Amino acid sequence: MEEEPPEEDILSILVATDNHVGYLEKDPIRGDDSFNTFEEILQHAHREEVDMILLGGDLFHENKPSRQSIHRVTTLLREYCFGDKPVEVEFLSDQKENFHTGQFNTVNYEDPNLNVAIPVYSIHGNHDDPAGRTGLCALDLLSASGVINYFGKSNSLEEIIISPLLMRKGNTKLAIYGLGSIRDERLHRLFINKKVKCTRPDQDRDEWFNIFVIHQNRVKRGKSETSFIPEEVLPEFIDLIIWGHEHDCQTILKNNSVLNAYVLQPGSSVATSLSEGETEPKHCFKIQIYKKNFNKQDIPLTTVRPFLFKTVSLIDDSTEKEVNK
């Protein structure tokens, strides 16, 4: 941010994606890793006194998390996100439209039965996506219990209409567009056929800072040309894209010149695959927004188990000589 804004106009968000809580939870050595790092993320949010937490999908590793995973996540969210600190962000959009998946169609910090200090907003990922006859997922359980605000769920496979979460803090106006994970080929086709539409505020459209949270393949997988979502198909008015699903943490913002938007790829908070991208240092991020400007603070995660990756070439001369011996 170029100018020094008034504190009461700065809206701060702690951003994380792909926590994969419950990964290897039965492992006697690594079983607590995902829980420890998720708690560290919440501790950072509490210490930094952010206005909200924004999660980009795959909070849980399993589609049907264990009772231990659900219990520990619920306990941690209540411990760090409930309290007497007033939420200074005004919620402006139609909450019944934003939170249409359950019986309680209100943002949790406006529920008179709850005492929320840091609201948590989350979309679902491909690991914890809705399934079954009722189309429920683990986030629906957390939403019904009042510890998170679950958004970004689409019930249609023919056309997707995304209504933003509209908020205001002082003179800063924020619109958050969320889209939970959908099969990449299907979503790619919907974007190409212009069947994904985003509604915008009726007034002062140019004064809103627009964030799009997505959980999809960002790069091509295999031979299919529709196995990922190109950045360029996203709405042109977006200012910041938060990209979940990709596990390598990229601390440098990418500027998409076509959209004139920045892309932040937070990566996962626990390594779940033997890939080189998982060796990058893990972070969560603090985003501070003032009107149409923002800055980013990288917060290293210190509880992540070190992961080393080394490639051994069997056709290397020295290696071949050792083998021949």
The residue ranges of the chain whose pLDDT is under 70 are 1-3, 316-325
Which of 230, 226, 229, 253 shows the shortest CA–CA distance to 242?
Answer: 253
Q: Phi/psi at 323 (nearest 5 deg)? A: -65, -40
The pLDDT value recorded for residue 318 is 60
Which of 317, 316, 248, 299 shows the shortest CA–CA distance to 42?
Answer: 299
127 annotated active-site: yes
Distance of CA 61 to the CA centre of its chain: 14
- Threshold 0.75, pTM exceeds: yes
Q: Which of 46, 127, 188, 247 is catalytic?
A: 127
Q: Phi/psi at 9 (nearest 5 deg)? A: -105, -5
CA atoms within 13 Å, Cβ hemisphere of 297: 13
| DSSP strand pairing (172-179 vs 165-169) | antiparallel
Asked whether 312 and 319 are in contact (CB, 8 A), the reply is: yes
Question: Using CA atoms, how far apart are residues 57 and 10, in angstroms rounded to an integer?
Answer: 25
Which conformational region is residue 51 in: left (phi greater than 0), alpha (psi within -120 to 50 degrees), or beta? alpha
Kindly state the DSSP code that residue 191 receives in the 8-state scheme: H
The pLDDT value recorded for residue 119 is 98
The pLDDT value recorded for residue 2 is 56
Question: Using CA atoms, how far apart are residues 278 and 259, in angstroms rounded to an integer?
Answer: 28
* CA 239, 243, 249, 254 torsion-angle sign: negative
